[in-house]
Amino acid sequence: MSNIIAGKISFKIDGTIYPAKGSFKCNPGRDKKEMIVGSDGVHGAKSMPQVPFIEGKITDRAALDIEKLLDSDDVTATVELANGKVFALYGAVYAADGSLDTEEGEIDLRLEGLSGEWIKS
C-alpha cells in the first residue's frame, strides 16, 4: 500500500490528456444541506442541488486546440489522483471564461456536467 495521498494528477477530456497545472477541484454535485435559522432559533434544514464540476488550470502548449477546449459540449472528463482515486464528470460543458494567462502560459478550466462520481480504484 502506498503512502502517497496527493500530488500528481492526470486530467482527460474524452480520453485526451491535457497538461494539468496546480490544484484541481472536483465536486460530484451532491445536494448541499444548510440549516435555516430564524430570530427564535433553528427551524430546520434545506437541501439544494449543486452543479457537478471539475476546476483547475491547464498549461497552454503549441499542440493544444484552445477552440476545441472552449467548445467542449457533452464531454466526459476524468481526474486521476495520486492516491489512485478517479473522479468522472459526464455530460460536461466548458464553463470558464476562457482566460489565458500569458505570463504563466495557463488557461482557466471549469467543466460543469450533468453528473459526477468518484470511481473506486
Q: What is the pLDDT of residue 5?
A: 74
Categorize the per-residue pLDDT at 121 as very low, low, confident or very high, splitting at 50, 70 and 90: low
Angstrom distance (rounded) from CA 15 to CA 24: 18
pTM for the model stands at 0.88
Predicted confidence (pLDDT) per residue in 38-95, tens digit: 999 999 999 999 999 999 999 999 999 999 999 999 999 999 998 889 999 999 999 9
Q: What is the pLDDT of residue 30?
A: 96
Cβ pair 89, 116 in contact under 8 A? yes
The architecture CATH gives domain 9-119: Beta Barrel (2.40)
Q: Report domain extents, the chain.
A: 9-119
Q: What is the pLDDT of residue 4?
A: 79
